[in-house]
Copies of this chain bind each other. A is one copy, B any other.
């Protein structure tokens, strides 16, 4: 990318006090290349390969197409991915894949910068449809269907969600009833609410589908299982007998995907079309499963599909990076209002509010990116089999459920703030903020509604907390909670064991001394999660002894604070990931700057929740007042490094593709300033009426 920005002036804003982390230097500098390498993470090679693809015009979103044309374009792009060997990494080596689960997601999520429709449609085909066959099916299924799924000979659907049930998958109403007379399952949609809905590939392209339905055999409902169902005649593309559907039509975004509805009227499929890894039905109708508990079985089956959440988390971070790169570049070139000089206007990024708007989101993007890398590693550990105990799987699911909501909401917030920060230009589709925002909107809903996911996290936190206190009596718990409420300090280390703590009355007072101190931030953020969970736990204590209805009502009265606690937990995970990543930074300048950015992230969290820290006696009124001021000082320190920090993301012009981030604005500004300079030099500038009035007034007073 051409260097279009004059950074010399900006670099002049050297921080007044050099951080102790950079011995002997008052001018820390970011090693953009080394930081870029670190940000690429473990699957750097795959990521670079995917970015190379994402930079190609063939894969770019064409704006302004009708949804019909956009769908056709994206369908074609899927074949391009196949032809370029980009989408088979997770599949078995024996079938031409490479058994590389982490790398697969790393590659997929980068596609978002080409066109989010492409990322999601590819995700439907290989990440959902193909994965379901792979993870829920067994050898015969793999041999029969995976090659066609991989080659795109069988475009397919992941038919789980119904019009009536999205978040509560266990309650879907499609049935698959076993008929031993013919050794077939009868797949049936009993009423309108049980239509499959919002299903990618359903409106047009899908020839096959993995259909989730209640498995009924011998009069017993064994819960949700997955069945392979042929949908359309490959020749005529018509629905097969008994199958019908509808187009979901135009959506708020992602219009390159043909989402639709499906329904089944007593559709018969062979017994062997049950994807039977976790549950099988013998020819005589006998049900068997390696997992005895129906509940555990259900969650195990769903758990194999966690990768959708993982890749949305990564894609959300990628989109945030692209947006910030464009908006921050523009803000270093765009000038408006001559606040500090009569002739030169201010660069937008020198305004405090503009820094607040963009740098806090830059800090969160770094935090979310580092957290995503940890999630991806955890995912790979589990799916590669390196670490795949039940607890590992549960941790992975909780981590994904915690991070995906924050990163997808963050992406929407960042895209919008960047849009607004670029004014009217930000609204032009050529600058992509609005387009990306529209496409990413539903990331907050699919693969798990963000609010529902956070509630799952809260329940896990409560369960951990309850386990921790299982052996103590209620009196201990009550005293603990009372201690919390009166401001006793809690210290905790480690990410996941929220209920583990040591009572250390000194730590918070110490924390109050220096908010920029890493351990103080950790103590404050950790303490908040712990205390919120403990308070909720105490409030809900005994709810399992209440009637079903009263227990639910009690839980509902605390729903809001539970979701807040889960969010606080997820923010802590992001903060810890950022802090972990700092340890891997060897260049002292880079580490100094990234530490400011981490501090900005941590202090922004504390500022957002400042009332909690004050009300609970964790910060004094005096200390609280310094938070905003310290954030403002960090903004000034980060200002000279803003371009380096977005350049380190490693996205080029072919990824950013925003007219305002090409240097065009600087060219225009330079031309305008040269015009006025030459006019002044020639003595031909018209005199400003105000100046004339001032001169006249001065003449009168003489």
Chain A residues with CB under 8 Å of chain B are 63-64, 66-67, 161, 163-168, 171, 173, 177, 190-194, 197-198, 214, 216, 219-223, 248-253, 287, 293-295, 336-342, 345-346, 350-353, 356, 412, 416, 419-420, 423-430, 433-435, 437-438, 441-442, 444-446, 449-451, 455, 548-549, 552-553, 555-561, 563, 607, 610-611, 614-617, 621, 624-625, 628, 632, 667-669, 671-672, 675, 686-690, 692-693
Contact = CB atoms under 8 A, between A and B. Distances in A.
A198 B425 CA distance: 8
Contacts of A560: 352-353, 356, 628, 632
A638 to B, nearest CB: 15
A687 B220 contact: yes
A353 B165 contact: no
Q: Which of A424, A617, A688 has the most CB of B within 10 A?
A: A424
A194 B672 contact: yes
Given A252-B434, A353-B451, A690 B614 contact: no
A168 B348 CA distance: 13
Contacts of A671: 191-193
A648 to B, nearest CB: 26
Given A164-B669, A438-B252, A668-B163, A689 B221 contact: yes
A121 to B, nearest CB: 16
A658 B632 CA distance: 44
Contacts of A689: 220-223, 287, 294
A122 to B, nearest CB: 19
A419 B419 CA distance: 20
The 7 A-B pairs with the shortest beta carbon distances in the complex, nearest first, are A252-B434, A610-B611, A340-B552, A339-B552, A221-B686, A250-B429, A611-B611
Contacts of A556: 339, 350-352
Contacts of A248: 428
B412 A416 contact: yes
B353 A668 contact: no
Nearest to A613: B611
Contacts of A435: 252
7 contacts: A165-B336, A167-B336, A167-B337, A214-B686, A220-B686, A352-B556, A615-B621
A90 to B, nearest CB: 26
A193 B192 CA distance: 57
Contacts of A341: 548-549
A440 B255 CA distance: 20
Contacts of A249: 64, 428-430
Contact of A668 (B193, B433, B549, B669): B193
Majority-rule SS of A interface residues: helix
Q: Which of A66, A249, A346, A611 has the most CB of B within 10 A?
A: A611
Q: Which of A556, A614, A689 has the most CB of B within 10 A?
A: A689
B419 A441 contact: yes
Contacts of A350: 556
Contacts of A419: 252, 441
Contacts of A167: 336-337, 423
Contacts of A295: 690
Given A340-B549, A353-B563, A556-B352, A345 B166 contact: no
Nearest to A455: B353
Contacts of A614: 611, 614-615, 621, 624
A680 to B, nearest CB: 13
A291 B519 CA distance: 62
A353 B449 CA distance: 13
Contact of A559 (B352, B552, B667): B352
Contact of A687 (B221, B425, B561, B625): B221
Given A193-B672, A223-B689, A617 B611 contact: no
Contacts of A690: 294-295
B353 A253 contact: no
Nearest to A485: B625
Nearest to A350: B556
Contacts of A430: 249-250
B424 A446 contact: yes
Nearest to A409: B420
B197 A424 contact: yes
Contacts of A161: 424
Contacts of A438: 252, 434, 438
Nearest to A548: B340
A85 to B, nearest CB: 32
Given A168-B337, A445-B423, A294 B672 contact: no
Given A252-B427, A668-B163, A689-B222, A624 B615 contact: yes
A295 B163 CA distance: 60
A190 B685 CA distance: 13
Contacts of A442: 424, 427
A341 B428 CA distance: 50
Nearest to A627: B611
Contacts of A222: 689
Given A192-B668, A624-B611, A693 B250 contact: no
Nearest to A69: B66
A434 B253 contact: yes
A444 B420 contact: yes
Given A423-B166, A615-B624, A251 B559 contact: no
B191 A672 contact: yes
A40 B553 CA distance: 38
